[in-house]
Amino acid sequence: MIRVIAIALAFVALTLVLLPFQLIGLAFDLRLQRSIPHLYHRMLCALIGVRIREVGLRTADSPALILSNHASWLDICVISALGPVVFVAKSEVAGWPLLGWLAKLQRTIFINRQARHQTGAATREIAGRLLGGDAVVLFAEGTSSDGIRVLPFRSSLVGAVHHALGSSAHHTHVTVQPMSLAYVSLSGVPLGRALRERVAWYGDADLIPHLARVLASGAVDVTVSWGEAVAYDMSADRKAIARDAEQSVRRMTAAALRNAPAAPAPASGRLRPLPAQA
C-alpha cells in the first residue's frame, strides 16, 4: 500500500508540473502538445516500473497509421513512452474520471463504435490527424484481450487511409505499420495464463482495483515489436490491410511470449498496392 500511495503522489505531482505546458501547447498549437505527453508517459513508466524492450524499428514515414493489439490501460503509457502519438478510443473513455480528462489532453480521437453511421466522420477525423503530421495508433481489435490471444482486426476505421489520400493533394501514400504489445513478466515472474489478469485489463474487470494491483506489483516487462511498414495508395483494400496487420501482430505477439522475439523487417515504407476494394 505504501508503494501505491507513493506512486499516486508522484503521479499527481508530475501531472501538475507538466499540465501548464500541455495547455499552452494546445492553446497555441505548438509542438509541445505532442512532446509533453511523450515525456509524461516516459516518466510514468519509470514510476510504475514498466521496462520496455523494443524489437524492430518504428517507421519514420508520415502520414503513419499504427495498428496494434490491446491488452491493458498500460498500453497507453508504453506506446506514448516510445514516441509522440495520437490514440483512437471509444467514446465512453471521454467520460471516465481523470483518465478521460488525460486522454483529451493527449488529443485522443473519440469514436462511437456502436453507431455505424458515424464511421465516416471518425475516419475523416483520423485522416485529418494523419495529414496534420500525427502518428495515429488504432487498437484494431476494437477491445482489449488477455494479451495472449490476438482478436480479429476490424477494418472499418482503416478506411482512414482512403480519406487521407482523397483529402490531400500532396500525399499519394499512407504508411501502415503493425505493432505488437506483449507483457512477458511481472516482478521477474513469467506472465503465464494464471497471472495474465494481473496486467491485462479486459472483460468486466474494474479499473481502479486493477490499477492499484499493478502499481503494487513491481516491475512489469513488456516487449514491443514493430512489423513491416507498408505505404499504401488509393488502390489498397482496407480489409486486406487489416488482415495482413493482424497476422503480423499475432506472429510477433506469440514470438514475444515465447521469449524468442521475431525479427520484423526494418520499417521500410515500401510500396505494395493491393487489389481495389470491392
Does 3 have pLDDT greater than 70? yes
The helix or strand, by DSSP H or E, that contains position 123, with its residue range, turns out to be helix 119-131
Highest-scoring range by mean pLDDT, 1-10, 112-121, 176-185: 176-185
* Polymer length in residues for the chain: 278
pLDDT for 189 equals 85
Mean per-residue pLDDT for 50-77? 96
Q: In which band, very low, low, confident or very high, does the pLDDT at 59 lie, cut at 50, 70 and 90?
A: very high
Establish whether the linkage from the previous residue to 63 is cis, with ω within 30° of 0.
Answer: yes
Mean per-residue pLDDT for 226-236? 95
Does 78 have pLDDT greater than 90? yes
Mean per-residue pLDDT for 132-146? 93
Amino acid at 51: R
pLDDT for 206 equals 84
pLDDT for 121 equals 85
Residues contacting 56, CB < 8 A, separation 6+: 225, 226, 227, 263, 264, 265, 266, 267
pLDDT for 130 equals 95
Q: In which band, very low, low, confident or very high, does the pLDDT at 117 lie, cut at 50, 70 and 90?
A: low
pLDDT for 116 equals 66
Radius of gyration over every alpha carbon of the chain, rounded to an integer in angstroms = 18
Mean pLDDT of the chain: 88
pLDDT for 120 equals 82
56 φ, ψ (degrees, to nearest 5): 85, -175
pLDDT for 115 equals 67
pLDDT for 273 equals 42
Handedness of CA 144, 150, 154, 158 (dihedral sign): positive
Residue pLDDT, tens place only, 159-217: 899 888 888 778 889 999 999 999 999 888 888 877 788 888 887 778 888 888 888 88
Q: In which band, very low, low, confident or very high, does the pLDDT at 276 lie, cut at 50, 70 and 90?
A: very low
Mean per-residue pLDDT for 13-34? 97
